[in-house]
Amino acid sequence: MPEVWIIGGVYTRLGYRNKGYDKSVTSAITRDAIASGAVAILHVAEDNEPAKKVYSKLGYRYLGKRP
């Protein structure tokens, strides 16, 4: 079974939003995980639509709720 990297707690301060930093950071972590042979997953608050939009553009998809 491959190692799993869990990405969470990605936050961009208000003055730095909408500049692509969230996408750059999440992409870099995802690339590192995949390059190491791991599976990258992330968690996000259900009501955090801006973050979900970024993650969707990066290819992440919804798998389900954590109990």
Phi/psi at 6 (nearest 5 deg)?
A: -105, 120
| Residue 18 structure tokens | 């909408």
User: pTM of the entire structure?
Assistant: 0.80
CB 57 within 8 A of CB 23: yes
Nearest alpha-carbon partner for 26 in 58, 65, 61: 58
Q: Look at residue 25 and tell me whether its pLDDT is greater than 90.
A: yes
- Mean pLDDT throughout 44-58? 91
- Mean pLDDT throughout 8-24? 91
For residue 1, the model assigns a pLDDT of: 62
For residue 9, the model assigns a pLDDT of: 87
Cα 52 from Cα 43, distance rounded (Å): 9
- Mean pLDDT throughout 18-33? 94
**Residue 40 burial (CB count, 10 A):** 19
| Residue 67 structure tokens | 């109990």
